[in-house]
Structure 1
Amino acid sequence: MARILVTGSADGLGKLAAQSLVKQGHQVVVHARNEQRAKEAMEAVPEAETCLVADLSSVAEVKKMAAEANKLGRFDSVIHNAGMGYSSSAPTWTPEGYAATFAVNSLAPYILTCLMEKPDRLIYISSGLHRSGKDNMALDKLTWKNQRWNGFQAYNDTKLQNVILANAVARRWARPYSNSVDPLWQPTKMGGSGAPGDLREGIETQVWLATSDENAVKVSGRHFRLKKETRPNSAALSEKTQDAYLKACEELSGVKFPE
């Protein structure tokens, strides 16, 4: 059985994935952004080993979470599920002055990937909306400083960045296996009750990638939907874009990507 960390597992697809994993007999560590949410996460997944608490919009808290995760011991798989939806009105700003959508959805997975002991498998939850993401790697574009806010575009951009990161990791490291997932539009709190998806399908692919012994999951730099490989936005396949993204994340977080 595998030992797996699922970020953002107090509700939504993260909670459902964690519940599915423990039901299969895997050892699971959940994550929540504060103590109240941690209590909810442990109530939802009482079989979980423990809950890591960190507000992923804070670079300092993400670094602390990575250290705490390493104290627990090495994981077989990490599912980078935590994410913020889009706000149409105005961004929430982080302590570092970044739009929280970028900090939580994109920068936090980068920091955890760099600072945590390497697992065997990394799974980054993206979205079909990544196809509308823009690949401008200028720091002010990534963080939404000094530009007019567009919450929907900001979200799409971060989902593209998730795929870029997964592919960059796959290219730079021989292991772990590093892949991204489109879970489809699901009726979660983030997706809304009108979403047409099936929640069982919404978690199936990431659970499969995290645990299966099938040869189909022993690949890297691939994008999956419904347990099948699908071609992502071509920007995510660009080595130049991948390298520029890693460099930008290093500058914004102070964390260098380990070679």
Structure 2
Amino acid sequence: MSRVLVTGSADGLGLATADALLSAGHEVVVHARNPQRAAALKGLTDRGADLVVGDFTDRDAVRGIAAALDGTALDAVVHNAGVWSGPAVMPVNIVAPYLLTALLPGPRRLVYLSSGSHFSGRPALERTDWQGRKPGSYADSKLFVTALAAAVARLRPDVVSNAVDPGWVPTKMGGPSAPDDLELGHRTQEWLAVSDDPEALTSGGYWYHRERREPHAAVHDEAFQDRLLRALAEETGTAL
């Protein structure tokens, strides 16, 4: 059985992912941004899940989560936490997963939540507001995190790193009229996090409902990956 951290697991896809992994017998670490949100996870913690709390808009809080998990034998991280709009887009959707990736070198499987919206993202970093002083572009943030997944796959050959488009599903973020299947929306990330299927052990992919697809051309552009990693390292003071 594996030990998996699922970020942003107080509701939606993160909650469904954590619940399914726990039900399958895996050890799970759940995450909420504050104690009020953590109350929603009592059903999982009562069943044995561990809990970490920290607001991903606060880099010191992200570092605190990494410190709290130092020495914990994590097998996988599902970078699920995300926001759709507002100033928190870049801090939550790309800076936090980058920092956790840099600060938690142990996990051998990494799954990053992407989106079909990443195809509308722009591979331009010069005017990106990483600190969230103004609203950020969701599409750009998802392009960046998809490229991060590919960069980790390239630079850490002993790590299985992939990005997943869960589809437009009826969560709080997606809205009640979203057309995709909520159940299918979380199965791929679980599969990539714990399965021994040969396909699940491949790295550097962009997946939709367990089918590997071709992402935005910039995702596998190594020069863009390197620029992104340099920008995030300079911004956070932490190199991958």
TM-score after normalising by structure 1 = 0.89
Distance in 2 of aligned mates of 1:32 and 1:145: 20
- Any runs of at least 4 consecutive aligned residues in structure 1 with deviations exceeding 6 A, and if so which? none
> How high is the TM-score relative to the length of structure 2?
0.96
Match of 2:107 among 115, 119, 128: 119
Residues 142 and 229 of structure 1, relative CA distance in 2, 3 Å threshold: farther
Q: Could you list the per-position Cα deviations for residues 126-178 of structure 1 after superposition, in whole angstroms to 9, with x for gaps in the alignment?
A: 0011000111021x3243889xx665xx0011111111000010111112100
CA deviation map 1:162-218 (0-9, x unaligned): 110000101111121000000000000000011011111000100100111100011
Match of 1:34 in 2: 34
Report the number of matched residues: 240
Q: Distance in 1 between matches of 2:113 and 2:132?
A: 25
Task: Tell me the equivalent position of 1:141.
Answer: 128
Query: What residue in structure 2 maps to residue 12 of structure 1?
Result: 12
Q: CA deviation at 1:21?
A: 0.5
Matched residue SS, 1:141 = coil
Aligned AA for 2:101?
A: T
- Percent identity, please: 43
Decide which of 207, 211, 217 is 2:190's aligned counterpart.
207
Q: For 2:159 and 2:64, locate their aligned partners in 1 and report how far apart those are by CA, in whole Å.
A: 22
- Superposed, 1:50-65 pairs within 5 Å as 50-65=50-65
Give the gaps of 5 or more residues in structure 1.
Answer: 93-99
Aligned partners of 2:151 and 2:37: how far apart in 1? 32
Residue equivalent to 2:82: 83
Superposition RMSD in Å:
1.6
Moved more, 125-134 or 112-121: 112-121
Q: Which of 70, 80, 95 pairs up with 1:107? A: 95
What SS does the corresponding residue of 2:70 show, helix, strand or coil?
helix
Q: Which deviations, in whole Å up to 9, do the C-alpha atoms of 1:47-98 show, x marking residues without a partner?
A: 2431100100011111111111124x12111000000112xxxx43xxxxxx
Q: For residues 88-237 of structure 1, what are the structure 2 equivalents within 5 Å?
A: 91-92=86-87, 100-138=88-126, 140-143=127-130, 154-237=137-220
